[in-house]
A = this chain, B = another copy of it.
Amino acid sequence: MQKQETLTKNQKIILDIIEKSSQPLKAYSILFDVKKKGINAPLQVYRALDKLVKIGKIHKIESRNAFIACKNSKCQIANATIFSICESCEDVTEIHDHKLSEHLRDFKDNKGMKYNKYNLEFFGLCKKCV
């Protein structure tokens, strides 16, 4: 059974907006959207984003400073994310590839480092943009 986080009002509002978007949203664009709901300051957005990232409901696309909902409803892999990013249309897709995930999970370097997280971003051109 999965631990069910109870989200607060602000967290729900922010998550809702991100989940309704198929593509990553930026913090200030989210802020703009939620002003009508009484969220007025960047910090309110960033705090909700931080929490949602932490519990795996959303992921941050580091190269884009944007946030996308995790489609995997039982996401065990908040700490193991893979994305493909089209450099033309900026379309972002989360990749779930068992073999690749396994390879990354099992990766050991030669420095004795203990990993607990990874983020992989592939860049290229999607079918439409080739």
Cβ contact within 8 Å between B62 and A84: no
Residue of B nearest to A108 (CB): B97
Residue of B nearest to A63 (CB): B62
Cβ contact within 8 Å between A124 and B114: yes
Cβ contact within 8 Å between A121 and B124: no
* Residues in B whose Cβ lies below 8 Å from that of A63: 62, 119
* Residues in B whose Cβ lies below 8 Å from that of A111: 84, 93, 126-127
Q: Which residues of chain A (77-130) have a CB below 8 Å from chain B?
A: 84, 86, 93, 95, 97, 100, 103-104, 107, 109, 111-127, 130
Interface residues of A (CB under 8 A from B): 62-63, 84, 86, 93, 95, 97, 100, 103-104, 107, 109, 111-127, 130
